[in-house]
Structure 1
Amino acid sequence: MAATVTSPTVSALVDPALHADGDPHELWRWMREFAPVHRHEAGELPAFWSLTRYEDIRAVYRDPATYSSARGVLLRPARLGDDPGGGLTLALSDPPRHKQLRSLMADWFSTRSVRALEDTVRDATRRVLARAVERGVCDFVQDIAGPLSLSVICGIIGVPGRDHDTVYRWCEEAFAAHTSLAAHPQLMEYLMELLYARMAEPADDLLSSLVNGTVHGELLPEHEILLNCENLIGATENGRLALIGGMLAFLQHPGQWRRLAADRALLPGTVEEILRHTSSATHSMRTATRPHTLRGRRIEEGDRVVLWLPSANRDEAVFNDPYRFDIARRPNRHIALASGEHFCIGSTLARAEMRILFSELLDSGCSVEQAGPVTRVRSIAVNGPAALPVRLTPKRRMP
């Protein structure tokens, strides 16, 4: 790490270029020490408070009565106002509605359901790895992590396998344009047609659960069902970035890969360290519901409060040697998947995908080498590689 920043430009924190080409951790480290609760005045973005310490961020997650999700959980340009999905989706709702929405989906992401999916995930993983080996050089983002992550959630929602590649292409178009999936007309039209099909003939999938489930005794309106499906599909961007970031971490720390290969018992802890180390969700936002004071700073009702998760997961007060990638790290109380009411509903699934992918890579005997420069996502919402060229070389057979 570079030396401690002495005169930082804190406004750079909302510049996507810093996250793509610079080192936001240098700035976050300074803020944790000198400005853990910092106010950013309005500009293109509305005014907001930055929180950078683990203790404060975890406390906000666990206090939905004071910090609401219903007005949006990501910074948006001031001209756009509050998120139009506020109060309608799992991510953008508060108790008690949040709990009822979650109950409609929770069974599909339970430990039992994920275990039942593991063979399907393993087969999908083997297919994408086999195609990658055939190519020789491929992009770990576009050819492995992206298709794998999207295919799994599409299967849960109820998207037929024949349509997975098409849905993946539409999602990539939206991600590349930094727009909401709900703004992609073809994707939303497709989901609407699928919704009508489930209304006519329910199936054993999550979409049918949303179509036939009730909140406060009433069926969900069609637009709310669509927004919740869009929300779940969009969340795969975080999952795949964790997979990609994990592969990059191993390429940068080959000793850790050899360590895992020698001791598979380290795999569960490896998954947790990848989640902490990558922290692919860069920020989450809440809106204060009442005036209060935090570390001597007065936060008013209606103020936006932004939680910088990679900073929390590098907090020196919680993690020993926090910038080191250590697959045997103990303890590892990261909050990469949030905490409290909004703890990631897909956390068990995300962990299973990661565990299976790296297990299959180890079992294949393939060597993995970086085959070109890494480019990073230009965003303040998510972070990680946008492109990671790799060469997968199969294990040579002895003559």
Structure 2
Amino acid sequence: MNTGSAPRHAVPDLADPGLYADHDPHAVWRALRAYDPVYWQPVGAPHAARGQGAGGPRPDAGLGFWAATRYADVDRILRDHEVFTSERGTLLSLIGRPDPAAGHQMAATDPPRHDALRAPLHKAMRVRSVDAHTREVRAGIRALLPLDGGPFDFAAGMRDLPLVVLGLLLGLPEADRPHLARLAMTASAEDDPDLMLPEGPAATLRRAHRELFAYFTDLVRARARDPRDDLVGIMLGMRHDGVRMPPAAIVSNCYSLLLGAAVTLSQVPVATVMALAENGGYAAWAARPDLLDSGIEESLRWATPARYFMRTTRRPVELSGVVVPEGQPVVAFLASANRDRRVFTDPDVFDVARRPNRHLAFGAGPHYCIGANMARLTLRLLFTELFAAYAKLDVVGEPVRIRSVFLAGVKSLPVQGRLRRAPV
């Protein structure tokens, strides 16, 4: 059953990267949460023929997906692996075809095998945590913040933030980090004109994946010959149920870590600086160190850099009054769930004092982001250094958004910082 009677023809294509680069998807999601919270979105059909929601054509009308936009539905989809499987693709680029990573990569594997794949990496990250590298991470962050008083591109600087941390944890040569950051971005935003190959998005994605896996295969082989005290070395020496972790699994874990952090983490401070510039709240937050942690959680909710994850139904299931048939792709829009007023008071207000804040930026359930603690600590160090360096940070040019359905972010943000003469 439907929950309202909004004009269905007004809903744009949720699979069009142009929606996210050129328009405000939050206005679309707000209407869908109110009127059509589980919405059938055809893919690859002429727009005029596209049906809408429970009242439009059924899935047998062609390729498409069900878009879930309310918090309760998104949370359930992410948690309930018995009904919603990850093994038939987690991204829209795989819709309608098998996922070759199913059963091998953590993101594309259901429990209990998922838990067996995740356990060694989780253990290794506890052994080699960010805390052991705090001084080096601080130094790396400071190097990203220009102190000459002139304008600079904040988004470009933050692009290297995740590699400051991952580079230390994985033992990546500093010279390789910008290239890896670009490959990771390409694997998440293959439709962006600055990243896309002339052959198109699919070819762009294939090349990025191929180069990343080749890089990490070489890295794991090098660590096997010359062991080091980094995450790769730790995983090579670990045993799970008495069996050593195979090199292919270590390569997959390295890939998952890079993709999970390198493109998403960098977008959180960028979205935050934009919000603070709009509401004039930079100085007020900088003066309240007691709100640092709650502000970081709000930054994560506000940015939600991974807009969605896809699952496939194992059996018919009801979501918000709509029965989704077995074998259907369901896209859980985290970015929409994190603005649901059923859960968040004034969800379109950036509030560093927001409590509670049960955001889904890291997902939920068995696939909850394995690097969440690493991300939180990195953001804590970043904002501490940012507030110490600049008394004020203004946006002085138009942001340029990334053209991607999956990745919510900005690739250029001109800012001007007023240097702080004394530390906070």
> Does the TM-score normalized on the shorter chain lie above 0.5?
yes
Point out the more displaced range, 219-228 or 322-331.
Answer: 219-228
The answer to whether 1:61 aligns with 2:78 is: yes
Point out the more displaced range, 9-18 or 343-352.
Answer: 9-18
Equivalent residue, structure 2, for 1:283:
308
Give the direction of change, closer, same or farther, for the CA distance of 1:289–1:192 in structure 2 (3 Å limit).
same
Choose from 111, 121, 140 the match for 2:154.
140
Give the direction of change, closer, same or farther, for the CA distance of 1:251–1:8 in structure 2 (3 Å limit).
farther
Report how far residue 215 of structure 1 moved.
Answer: 5.8
Amino acid at match of 2:75: R
Amino acid at match of 1:240: S
Give the direction of change, closer, same or farther, for the CA distance of 1:185–1:10 in structure 2 (3 Å limit).
same
For 1:75 and 1:259, the matched residues in 2 are separated by 40
Report how far residue 289 of structure 1 moved.
Answer: 1.4
Amino acid at match of 2:130: V
Equivalent residue, structure 1, for 2:67:
50
Report how far residue 113 of structure 1 moved.
Answer: 2.1
Amino acid at match of 1:141: A
Do the aligned residues in 2 keep the contact of 1:5 with 1:27 (CA within 8 Å)?
A: no
Do the aligned residues in 2 keep the contact of 1:108 with 1:156 (CA within 8 Å)?
A: no
**1:339-372 per-position Cα deviation (integer Å, ceiling 9, x unaligned):** 1111111111111111111111111245322232
Equivalent residue, structure 1, for 2:397:
372
Equivalent residue, structure 1, for 2:355:
330
Point out the more displaced range, 46-55 or 102-111.
Answer: 102-111
Do the aligned residues in 2 keep the contact of 1:46 with 1:77 (CA within 8 Å)?
A: no
Report how far residue 380 of structure 1 moved.
Answer: 0.9
For 1:298 and 1:112, the matched residues in 2 are separated by 45
Equivalent residue, structure 2, for 1:160:
173
Q: Secondary structure at the match of 2:327?
A: coil
Give the direction of change, closer, same or farther, for the CA distance of 1:180–1:348 in structure 2 (3 Å limit).
farther
Identity of aligned residues (%): 36
**1:270-296 per-position Cα deviation (integer Å, ceiling 9, x unaligned):** 001111111111111111112233333
For 1:362 and 1:94, the matched residues in 2 are separated by 41
The answer to whether 1:24 aligns with 2:41 is: no
Q: Looking at secondary structure, tell me which structure has more helix per residue.
A: 1
Choose from 109, 124, 130 the match for 1:93.
109
For 1:43 and 1:27, the matched residues in 2 are separated by 20
Do the aligned residues in 1 keep the contact of 2:150 with 2:416 (CA within 8 Å)?
A: yes
Give the direction of change, closer, same or farther, for the CA distance of 1:215–1:34 in structure 2 (3 Å limit).
farther
Report how far residue 122 of structure 1 moved.
Answer: 1.1
Q: Secondary structure at the match of 2:107?
A: coil
The answer to whether 1:248 aligns with 2:266 is: no
The answer to whether 1:70 aligns with 2:87 is: yes
Using the size of structure 1 for normalisation, the TM-score is: 0.89
Do the aligned residues in 1 keep the contact of 2:271 with 2:299 (CA within 8 Å)?
A: yes
Do the aligned residues in 2 keep the contact of 1:8 with 1:27 (CA within 8 Å)?
A: no
Report how far residue 46 of structure 1 moved.
Answer: 3.4
Q: Secondary structure at the match of 1:202?
A: coil
Alignment of 1:71-220 (within 5 A): 71-76=88-93, 78=95, 81-110=97-126, 113-129=129-145, 132-134=146-148, 136-143=150-157, 145-172=158-185, 175=189, 176-177=195-196, 179-180=204-205, 183=208, 185-213=210-238, 218-220=243-245
Amino acid at match of 1:140: F
Equivalent residue, structure 2, for 1:273:
298
For 1:344 and 1:133, the matched residues in 2 are separated by 33
Give the direction of change, closer, same or farther, for the CA distance of 1:181–1:349 in structure 2 (3 Å limit).
farther
Count of residue pairs the alignment pairs up: 389
- Unaligned 5+ segments in structure 1 are none
Q: Secondary structure at the match of 1:293?
A: strand
Give the direction of change, closer, same or farther, for the CA distance of 1:288–1:181 in structure 2 (3 Å limit).
same
For 1:164 and 1:94, the matched residues in 2 are separated by 31
**1:246-289 per-position Cα deviation (integer Å, ceiling 9, x unaligned):** 121112222x2222122110000000111111111111111111
Report how far residue 127 of structure 1 moved.
Answer: 1.6
Q: Secondary structure at the match of 1:133?
A: coil
Coordinate RMSD, CA, aligned: 2.6
Do the aligned residues in 2 keep the contact of 1:373 with 1:389 (CA within 8 Å)?
A: yes
For 1:299 and 1:372, the matched residues in 2 are separated by 44
- Unaligned 5+ segments in structure 2 are 46-61, 190-194
Give the direction of change, closer, same or farther, for the CA distance of 1:181–1:279 in structure 2 (3 Å limit).
farther
Give the direction of change, closer, same or farther, for the CA distance of 1:299–1:366 in structure 2 (3 Å limit).
same
Equivalent residue, structure 2, for 1:318:
343
Do the aligned residues in 2 keep the contact of 1:40 with 1:50 (CA within 8 Å)?
A: yes
Equivalent residue, structure 1, for 2:253:
228
**1:199-235 per-position Cα deviation (integer Å, ceiling 9, x unaligned):** 2233222223443445676555544432332221122
**1:102-136 per-position Cα deviation (integer Å, ceiling 9, x unaligned):** 1111134449823223222211111211xx22482
Amino acid at match of 1:13: L
Do the aligned residues in 2 keep the contact of 1:281 with 1:383 (CA within 8 Å)?
A: yes
Q: Secondary structure at the match of 2:383?
A: helix
